[in-house]
Structure 1
């Protein structure tokens, strides 16, 4: 297990992560630090616990919004796949009808 030091609101914190996840953890810490600093800027200096709570709640709100958008997009993808399948079936039926007509016309000429 890797040990890293991340900085949040100007203070270092030692955290562990799985080997190979160091860059990901540092990016997450950077995002959290940005959120905490934004809260501090907007609300003034609060205690670390309250500041971290507010930062975490704002990130959780963003996550909830992203999940809602993802669910809506997945629903739209499902609808589009159904539409595509229906259109493909109609195209196949139209091609089969056209092929039968062509065969019929070919038989009449002979």
Structure 2
């Protein structure tokens, strides 16, 4: 199992991860370290444990917000899919109506053409 060395709040940690997940773990550690530094800049030296807890809660809050927005986007996407499906069904219905109307018109034209071809021709006056 691969191992990665990360630095968080000035302390080095060696961590195991899944194959191919090294860069992801390093990125997560950098995100957390950055959040701790952000908290330290905003609140000063208030104790490492408190900074870690505040950073973790802040990241958790971001995650909850993203999940909430993702839920809204997924609901909107489902709505749009339903509208698209309903529009597609309406389009198919209109297409069937147009096809039926065209077939009926063609049948009428054929009847008219047959009736015209059966009528005797008037003698030509040439």
Unmatched 5+ stretches in structure 1: none
User: Which segment drifts farther, 80-89 or 10-19?
Assistant: 10-19
Q: 1:80 corresponds to which residue? A: 80
Residue 39 of structure 2 is matched in structure 1 by 39
Post-superposition CA distance 1:50-87 (Å, at most 9, x none): 11111000000000000000000010011001101110
Q: TM-score, normalised by structure 1?
A: 0.95
Structure ranking higher on relative contact order (CA contacts 8 Å, 6+ apart): 1
- Computed over aligned residues only, the root mean square deviation of the Cα atoms, in angstroms, reads 0.9
Aligned residue in 2 for 1:59: 59
**Residues in 1 aligned to 2:103 and 2:19: alpha-carbon distance in whole angstroms:** 67
CA deviation vs aligned residue, 1:82-108 (integer Å, no higher than 9, x gap): 101110010000000000000000011
Please give the alpha-carbon distance, in whole angstroms, between the structure 2 residues aligned to 1:88 and 1:58: 44
How much does 1:9 deviate?
A: 1.8
Corresponding residue for residue 102 of structure 2: 102
Partner of 2:7: 7
Q: TM-score, normalised by structure 2?
A: 0.84
Q: How many residues align?
A: 110
- Which sections of structure 2, spanning at least 5 residues, go unmatched? 111-126
**Which whole-Å CA distance do the structure 1 matches of 2:50 and 2:16 have between them?**
23
